[in-house]
Amino acid sequence: MMDLLHNLQQGFATALTFQNILYCSFGVFFGQMIGVLPGIGAPTAIALLLPLTFTVDSTSAIIMFAGIYYGVAYGGTITSILINVPGESSTVMTCLDGYQMALQGRAGAALSVAAIGSWIAGTASTVLLMAFAPSLARFAIRFGPAEFFSLTVMAFGLLTVFGGENPFKVVISTMIGLLLTTVGIDVVGGMPRFTFGVPQLLGGLDFIVVVCGMFGVAEVFNSIEQPEEGGDRIKGKPRLRDMFLTWEDWVASRWAIFRGTVIGFLIGLIPAGGITTASFIAYLSEKRYAKHPERFGRGAIEGVAAPESANNAASISGFAPLLALGIPGSATTAVMLAGFMMWGIRPGPLLFSTHPKLVWGLIASMYIGNFLLLLMNIFLIPLFTAMLRVPYSIMMGGIVIFSSVGAFSVNNNLFDVWMMLGFALLAYVMLKLGYPIVPLILALVLGKLSENSLRQALMISGGTFSIFATRPISAVFLGAAALAYMAPLFRWALARRRATALAP
Amino acid sequence: MHEKSSDVLAHLPDGERRASVFWSEAGVRYARVFSGVAVLALGVAVVLLSRRLPYHSDYGPGPGFLPTWIGYVLSACAIVVTAQELRAPPTAEEFFRPRTRLAVKVLAAIGVTFLLVPFLGFSLALGLLIGVTMRMMGSHRWLACGVAAAVAAVGIHYVFGRSLDIPLPTGLVGF
């Protein structure tokens, strides 16, 4: 306990420097702004800024990126409530009751409960993260190559549960991501793979180039096809005095906030769990166990409190697998992992001992960031709603500029810019055909770790695959992976059984 | 909210509407089946290309080990997806949506911009892109687009080129 407090004190000493407060404030403000604007998400925002932070201190930059990540979850709420358009997928469930509340003239209460719930969940989740992540890291110190390989297999397996509707398309997307990691010189044998004589490919595909294309420019094409501008459809512009909750509102929402926090924290810990899943499960469980479930969808304040608390709790707890295991739980943390690697930092079991300043500074900054977001959500709502009036024709230009400069700045050559455009086209077509992008990105980040761990483990075992089953932790991960891969089969069997039961 | 296709189609001329409806109905089905076949082709190609790489090495699995298995898994999943798409009932989703043409135009404009970078320079080419896409996307006047293009070009040059020291390519005019 004393260690924890000492580490936290050190963390606050780092986070409370003028520079880090500035980066944290910019991160949460920018994140909130990105959350408000439909058509651009947290992974895109971080990917676009990543190449521009090469020269910034790594702790400050990571504090800023974390701020963007959890700030986005706050920002997406505003559009969900005011115009029934989720700024982020994690705020889809908020539309159901939040927009109804706005139509009833209670937009202020909806925004307020979302902000307070998010703040409570974010802060509680940070406390739990602080207690849980170091223990997870200590446990993970026992991991060898076999465990790391099995862990990545489990993460890929969990994608079939959470990553998309069609598990086969999820696997295809994952495999394409893995395939992309094999491009370039093989680090073990020194042999070029899939370079086709192109010298620029010898070093492999740069993650930033792929992400700028797949999340940045591809998002532009998707947004052009499905415009979501809605500045003229704002319902119930809330005044400051409407932003304070009544005692009845608080009584109705306090347990929903608590349950949302617990659900969000637990789901955030699962690799590939994600904040969207957390908000869905929190909303559905709140509705299921409510005394009057018929109120949901008609402006129930619990229907805003639960998913909003869950998505923030999950965005914070998602840092536990990232920091302690080096396994990202979502596309955003995958992009952040790329950022860590860009600064020569490898997240994993040793991160807490090798970079304590960074880890504890980041954790302490989450308290500060969440508090700043609470204030912004109460006092700056008019500013954020005004942003909705920026036409997409102008916004998309900014995205293309940032993506192009980002891709160019990796190696200072135009080849990468063309590659970025190629990946944008690939992502655009994949999304249109129902292939999810997130598995590809996660596989791209974890692919090298997966292959190197596999080969190292087999070198240790003399080529015997039983090493993965005989080491207990590895066996547990593989067991979980097997269950995850079989989950769609269970779902299909269950649906078939239900259909048979319902048939006359 | 998403723009309803039928609303947009109603404003199109007859010929274009018929073409859009045809491509909407037929397009998505063919495209999805074709995507399965394309992934199958990719899987087979990966297996064949991986054969040129050693499957084993002195230290365990060789550089061809993982790609070979990726190829097999891709092929297997592609066969399942193709079969699923062939058996799938008609869907209301569309591959070629009413605004797809606009998205393709923007894609083409970005491609042309990158081709122009060696001649115009990065800042000027991307500035021009901003003006052109603003005109394509919205009901902005040429003057507004021109001003936006100029501001964007100067902004890119000073923010990225000067402040962040990114050596952006310069064109024939040295900007």
DSSP characters over A329-397: SSHHHHHHHHHHHHTT---STTHHHH-HHHHHHHHHHHHHHHHHHHHHHHH-HHHHHHHTTS-HHHHHH
Per-residue pLDDT tens over the stretch A113-128: 998 999 999 899 999 9
Question: What's the whole-number mean pLDDT along residues A406-414?
Answer: 88
Residues B9 and B64 in one domain: yes
Number of folded domains in chain B? Answer: 2
One-letter amino acid for residue A157 of the chain: G
Which candidate from A84, A171, A182 shows the least CB-CB separation from B77?
A171
pLDDT of A313 reads 92
Does the pLDDT value for residue A184 go beyond 90? Answer: yes
Q: What angle do CA B24, B27, B32 make, to 5 degrees?
A: 130
> For position B81, what pLDDT does the model report?
93
Residue B1 confidence (pLDDT): 34
The residues facing B57 across adjacent strands are B60
CB-based contact A85 B1, cutoff 8 Å? yes
The pair phi, psi for residue A164, each rounded to 5°, is 175, 175
Residues 7-26 on B with a CB inside 8 Å of A are: none
Alpha carbons A272 and A487: distance in angstroms, whole number: 14
Our measurement of the distance from residue A42's CA atom to the centroid of its chain's CA atoms, rounded to an integer in Å, reads: 7
pLDDT at A74 over 90: no
* A93 token code pair: 């469930």
Is B118 within the bounds of a domain?
A: yes
Share of chain A above pLDDT 90, in %: 29
**Three-state SS at A380:** coil
> From CA A476, how far away is CA B56, in angstroms rounded?
28
Instruction: Give me the residue from A175, A220, A433 closest to B106, CB to CB.
Output: A220
Answer yes or no: are the C-beta atoms of B40 and A175 closer than 8 Å.
Answer: no
A interface mutation test: which of B104, B107, B158 has the most A CBs within 10 A?
B107
* Closest approach of A424 to chain B, Cα-based (Å): 9
A289 or A1, greater pLDDT = A289
Question: Residue A53's pLDDT is what?
Answer: 81
Is pLDDT at B9 greater than 60 in this prediction? no
Q: What tokens appear for A305 in the block?
A: 């409190």
User: Domain check: are B57 and B12 in the same one?
Assistant: yes
Nearest to B110 among A188, A414, A421 (CB): A421
The torsion defined by the Cα of B154, B160, B162 and B164, in degrees rounded to 10, comes to 160
Which of B82, B103, B78, B85 lies closest to B28, judged by CA?
B85
DSSP conformation letters of A298-330? TT-THHHHHHHHHHHHHHHHTHHIIIIIS--SS
B138 and B117 fall within a common domain:
yes
The b-or-e profile of A474-488 (16+ CB within 10 A means b, else e) is beebbebbeebbebb
Q: How far apart are CA B66 and CA B59, in angstroms?
A: 15
Angle between helices A414-432 and B100-120 (to 10 degrees): 180
Interface touch A393/B140, C-beta < 8 Å: yes
- Rounded distance between C-alpha atoms, residue A42 and residue B118, angstroms: 32
Comparing CB atoms, the residue among A85, A175, A451 nearest residue B74 is A175
What is the average per-residue pLDDT within A40-62?
A: 83
Mutation for testing the B interface, residue in A194, A223, A394 having most B CBs under 10 Å: A394
> How many C-beta atoms surround the C-beta of residue A240 within 10 A?
11
* Best-predicted range by mean pLDDT (A209-223, A263-277, A463-477, B65-79): B65-79
User: Does residue B126 lie in a domain region?
Assistant: yes
Residue A101 in contact with residue A301, Cβ under 8 Å?
yes
CA distance A14 to A11: 5
- Count of A-B CB contacts under 8 Å: 161
Residue B173 forms part of a structural domain: no
pLDDT of residue B6: 45
Closest to B155 measured CA to CA, from A33, A212, A398: A398
For range A361-389, the mean pLDDT: 84
Would the pLDDT of A445 be above 60? Answer: yes
Rounded CA-CA distance A460/B105 in Å is 54
Contact B103 A393 (CB under 8 A): no
Residue pair A457/A145 in contact by the 8 Å Cβ criterion:
yes
Among B61, B102, B117, beta carbon nearest to A458 = B61
In eight-state DSSP terms, residue B168 is P
Q: What does the pLDDT read at residue B126? A: 94
Residues B170, B125: contact at Cβ < 8 Å?
Answer: no
Residue B93 forms part of a structural domain:
no
Contact in structure between A363 and A470 (CB atoms under 8 Å): no
pLDDT value at A380 more than 60: yes
Average pLDDT of the segment spanning B48-77: 91
Q: Mark A349-386 as b/e (b = at least 16 C-beta within 10 Å).
A: bebbeebeebbbbbbbbbbbbbebbbebbbebbeebbe
pLDDT on residue A497: 83
Name the pLDDT band for B8 (thresholds 50, 70, 90). Answer: very low
What's residue A180's pLDDT?
96
Report the residue of chain B nearest A424, measured CA to CA: B107
Q: Is the ipTM of this complex over 0.90?
A: no
The H or E element spanning position B60 is strand B60-61
Query: Does one domain contain both B56 and B13?
Result: yes
Under a CB-based contact definition with an 8 Å cutoff, are residues A446 and A174 in contact?
Answer: no
For the ranges A213-217, A226-230, A259-263, A341-345, which has the lowest average pLDDT?
A226-230
Residue A56 identity (one-letter amino acid): V
Question: What's the CA gap between A60 and A415, in Å, rounded?
Answer: 30
Band of the pLDDT at B25, cuts 50, 70, 90? low
Q: A303, A260 in Cβ contact below 8 A?
A: no
Is A434 in contact with B39 (CB distance < 8 Å)?
Answer: no
The residue among B78, B169, B68 whose CA lies nearest residue A166 is: B78
CA pair distance A362, A354, nearest whole angstrom: 14
* Domain final residue pick, B40, B55, B87: B87
Can you give the pLDDT at residue A504?
Answer: 62
Evaluate the CA torsion angle A382, A383, A386, A388 in order and state its sign: negative
- Note the pLDDT of residue A240: 65
Across the interface, whether the CB atoms of B168 and A408 are under 8 A apart is answered: yes
Same domain, B107 and B135: yes
Q: What is the DSSP string of chain B?
A: -PPPHHHHHHTS-HHHHHHHHHHHHHHHHHHHHHHHHHHHHHHHHHHHHHTTS-SEETTEE-TTHHHHHHHHHHHHHHHHHHHHHHHSPP-S--SS-TTHHHHHHHHHHHHHHHHHHHHHBHHHHHHHHHHHHHHHHS---HHHHHHHHHHHHHHHIIIIIIIS---PPB-TT--
Residue B40 lies in a domain: yes
Beta bridge partners of A192: A185
Cα dist. B15→A299, B5, B95, B104, B105 in Å? Answer: 45, 16, 19, 20, 20
Domain boundary among B56, B87, B118: B87
B170: β partners? B121
pLDDT-above-70 percentage for chain A: 95
Q: For residue A47, what are the domain limits?
A: 2-502
- The predicted model gives B44-72 an average pLDDT of 91
How many structural domains does chain A have? 1
Query: Would B81 be classed as within a structural domain?
Result: yes
- Average pLDDT value for residue range A70-95: 80
Across-strand partners of B61? Answer: B56
Q: What is the pLDDT of residue A368?
A: 93
- Full domain range(s) for residue B27: 5-87
In total, chain A counts a number of residues equal to: 504
- Asked if residue B152 is part of any domain, the answer here is yes
pLDDT at B67: 95
Please check the confidence at residue A327 and state whether its pLDDT lies above 70: yes
What is residue A27's predicted lDDT score, i.e. its pLDDT?
A: 92
Which of B20, B52, B87 marks a domain boundary?
B87
**Cα separation, A255 vs A290, whole angstroms:** 11
Nearest to residue A318, comparing CAs of A211, A434, A442, A479? A442
Beta-ladder partners of B121: B170
Q: Say yes or no to pLDDT of A242 above 90.
A: no
Q: Is A197 left (phi over 0), alpha (psi -120 to 50) or beta?
A: left
Contact A50, A27 (CB under 8 A): no
Burial (CB count <10 Å: 0-12, 13-18, 19+), residue B116: middle
Residues of B in contact with A451 (CB under 8 A): 66
What does the alpha-carbon distance between residue A276 and residue B47 come to, in Å, rounded to a whole number?
Answer: 36
